[in-house]
Structure 1
Amino acid sequence: MDQVLTQQEIDSLLNAMNNGEIVEEKTEKKEELKVKSYDFRRPTKLSKEYVNTLHMIFEDFSKVSSNVLSTLLRSNISFNLASIEQVSYDEFIHSVPRFTLLGLFHSEPLKGIQILEMNPQLCMLIVELLCGGTDNGKQENISLKEKDSFTDIELILLKEIVIEMTKIYENVWKDIIELQTEFDELDSNPQLLQNMSPNEPVVMITFTVRIGDVDSFVNICVPYVFFEGLTDKLSFHNWFLIYSQKYTRYPSNTCFTR
């Protein structure tokens, strides 16, 4: 039961408050600040909508690469898109092996140098298949313990594969923009590359590659300057218009005759 105060007790409380003996406590609810964490080492320049469009573009890249590499290597190649991340160039360099294959190329009229990185183990398996070897799935046959560079013959063979993949890269962009992709050079030491500043934002596209029982990775590094002036074309609305035009090129009542 609630306690009932007498009139004398009420007067005493009011006098105590007036004299400052009792201070009224005011509780104010502080609004919680909505703060989002931001990692300056992983800059996000492209919105989620644009990244979703990139997913569709590089899904096509993975499908075409599977077919082309399977034909060139005469083996069953599984090439799948794994992830698309926005990172700094320095983070990309430190995420790849110290000894690896780096194919540098550019795509006119857009800016920046793009990099195709292939794991050395995958490279040696590709060389073996190009030289007439068979896909026996024995990963231990490819030893890289004492290898720190590619031979001239290996580079010639791998260069052809890189050039074919740059052609695929050019082809998957054709619905959005016409590119003229040109191969520049091969390198094997990412620490010596100085074509970008360490803090420059890039988009890193990672693919998983499976040949027999051997699993490996291929990365494509695209600088943000490549996307400048291109972001409007990466919108979902523009992508929808492209495909609607492609599939409605012929009216439904069109009659084809032999």
Structure 2
Amino acid sequence: MAEVLSQSQIDELLNNLNSGEIDIQEIESHSKEKKVKEYDFRSPKKITKETVNLLNGIYESYCRSISSSLTSMLRFMCDVTVEQIEESIFHEYNNALDDYVLMGLINVKYPDETVSDNQILIEVSKSLSFVIIDRLLGGSGEESNFTRDYTDIELSLLGNLLKQIISPMGNSWESTIGMKTELSKIETNSRFIQSINYNDTVLIIVLNATLSQATGKITICIPTNILDEIFKKADAFSKSNIKKKNSDQNYENQKEAIMKTLKVSKLTVSGVLGKTEASLGDILNMKVDDVIILDKNYNSDIDVNVDGEKWFEGKWGTKKSKGVIKISKIIH
């Protein structure tokens, strides 16, 4: 995070400019010189440019989603855009926050139903939050300069709004991994946050929100630990899907080969006109022109058996001087 000057430092700077101790022209000449950014080799950067570009795309999609959500909830035009993404140390980010903050702690749930031990933080600037409160309570959404803490009613209203804008965050990661994000709790004092160690490296995503004529910041703080966790889960999930896909393909190939072999096998198909029972004596005494009474009417369907099992029903007839059966019903 960029260094934030305290009020006393700002006053001292203005006094020095007015008294002439600091030359404005000298400051301008220094500003035109080529700036060299110092690199601390003791704490090297952990986030690559590729990761930053990936997150930029993810959170641009997230901004479009919450812009429409805020517009529908507040009933006036809202626009949210990604302003910057930078790597920092958590204590530097935490020290730059105001005394009274609206901080949401976000739980991350993965496709395997496990919940991460780490949490993502989202902070809505005080100016923006009071505009939202004013609008939710029927006001016009004008900016205010309140420096007080939030009341219980205000926190309840803002809590419901945070739930609405946090839920789409997980959907924005869908191209990487299908995770879910949900609000765990709200903190109004950033010093009480213990889910992130003070010396942990974090990624700060600053969103610029314009609500009608008012503007403010929404800051998302993602620990690098949870980023590593997400990418590992995504890689494992991708490999699992490929393995499952290959397994399913092998299964289909085996099934097709088995069915191809079975289809050319020979089966005995027989039509059963009807059945009856007779004693051994009746059978031994049968003569030509004797009549056997069956258990079916002459116009009833006959059974068609495949290897002794009833598969079909049909009508008996003849075609080209040969007996035929026309299938009328399939028995499953």
Fold agreement, TM-score > 0.5: yes
1:133 aligned partner: 139
The unaligned stretches of length 5 or more in structure 1 are: 1-35, 239-258
Once the two structures are superposed, residues 6-64 of structure 1 have per-residue CA deviations (whole angstroms, 9 ceiling, x without a partner) of xxxxxxxxxxxxxxxxxxxxxxxxxxxxxx95336975212111110111000101111
1:124 aligned partner: 130
Question: Secondary structure, in 3 states, of the residue corresponding to 2:46?
Answer: coil
Write the distance in 2 (CA, Å) between the matches of 1:208 and 1:42.
Answer: 29
Question: Secondary structure, in 3 states, of the residue corresponding to 1:186?
Answer: strand
Distance of aligned partners of 1:105 and 1:229 in 2 relative to their CA distance in 1, 3 Å threshold: closer
* TM norm structure 2: 0.55
Distance of aligned partners of 1:143 and 1:91 in 2 relative to their CA distance in 1, 3 Å threshold: same
Distance of aligned partners of 1:163 and 1:182 in 2 relative to their CA distance in 1, 3 Å threshold: same
Write the distance in 2 (CA, Å) between the matches of 1:163 and 1:49.
Answer: 30
Question: Secondary structure, in 3 states, of the residue corresponding to 1:87?
Answer: strand
Question: Secondary structure, in 3 states, of the residue corresponding to 1:168?
Answer: helix
Identity of aligned residues (%): 26
Write the distance in 2 (CA, Å) between the matches of 1:211 and 1:41.
Answer: 42
| 2:48 aligned with 1:47 | yes
Deviation, structure 1 residue 88: 0.8
Distance of aligned partners of 1:103 and 1:176 in 2 relative to their CA distance in 1, 3 Å threshold: same
Counterparts of 1:169-248 in structure 2, within 5 Å, are 169-231=169-231
Distance of aligned partners of 1:178 and 1:154 in 2 relative to their CA distance in 1, 3 Å threshold: same
Question: Secondary structure, in 3 states, of the residue corresponding to 1:198?
Answer: coil
Question: Secondary structure, in 3 states, of the residue corresponding to 1:125?
Answer: helix
Q: Which amino acid aligns with 1:228?
A: D
Counterparts of 1:95-174 in structure 2, within 5 Å, are 95-109=96-110, 110-135=116-141, 138-139=142-143, 142-145=144-147, 147=148, 149-174=149-174
Q: Which amino acid aligns with 2:185?
A: E
* TM norm structure 1: 0.70
Deviation, structure 1 residue 111: 4.4
Q: Which amino acid aligns with 1:167?
A: S
Distance of aligned partners of 1:40 and 1:123 in 2 relative to their CA distance in 1, 3 Å threshold: farther
Distance of aligned partners of 1:232 and 1:152 in 2 relative to their CA distance in 1, 3 Å threshold: closer
Contact 1:57–1:173 under 8 Å retained in 2 = yes
Once the two structures are superposed, residues 52-77 of structure 1 have per-residue CA deviations (whole angstroms, 9 ceiling, x without a partner) of 01110001011111111011110111
Once the two structures are superposed, residues 147-195 of structure 1 have per-residue CA deviations (whole angstroms, 9 ceiling, x without a partner) of 1x21111011100111111111111012211113231111111122222
Once the two structures are superposed, residues 110-148 of structure 1 have per-residue CA deviations (whole angstroms, 9 ceiling, x without a partner) of 44111110111111110111111124xx43xx2314x1x
User: Which of the two has higher C-alpha Rg?
Assistant: 2
1:93 aligned partner: 94
Write the distance in 1 (CA, Å) between the matches of 2:66 and 2:138.
Answer: 20
Deviation, structure 1 residue 230: 3.7
2:69 aligned partner: 68
Contact 1:50–1:231 under 8 Å retained in 2 = no
The unaligned stretches of length 5 or more in structure 2 are: 1-36, 111-115, 239-332
Write the distance in 1 (CA, Å) between the matches of 2:93 and 2:136.
Answer: 29
Q: Which amino acid aligns with 1:222?
A: I
Contact 1:88–1:198 under 8 Å retained in 2 = yes
Question: Secondary structure, in 3 states, of the residue corresponding to 1:50?
Answer: helix
Question: Secondary structure, in 3 states, of the residue corresponding to 1:228?
Answer: helix
Contact 2:79–2:209 under 8 Å retained in 1 = yes
Question: Secondary structure, in 3 states, of the residue corresponding to 1:112?
Answer: coil
Write the distance in 2 (CA, Å) between the matches of 1:80 and 1:42.
Answer: 30
**Aligned structure 1 segments of 4 or more residues deviating by more than 4 angstroms:** 40-43, 232-235
Once the two structures are superposed, residues 206-245 of structure 1 have per-residue CA deviations (whole angstroms, 9 ceiling, x without a partner) of 001112322210100111111114447999xx9xxxxxxx
Q: Which amino acid aligns with 1:182?
A: E
Contact 2:81–2:209 under 8 Å retained in 1 = yes
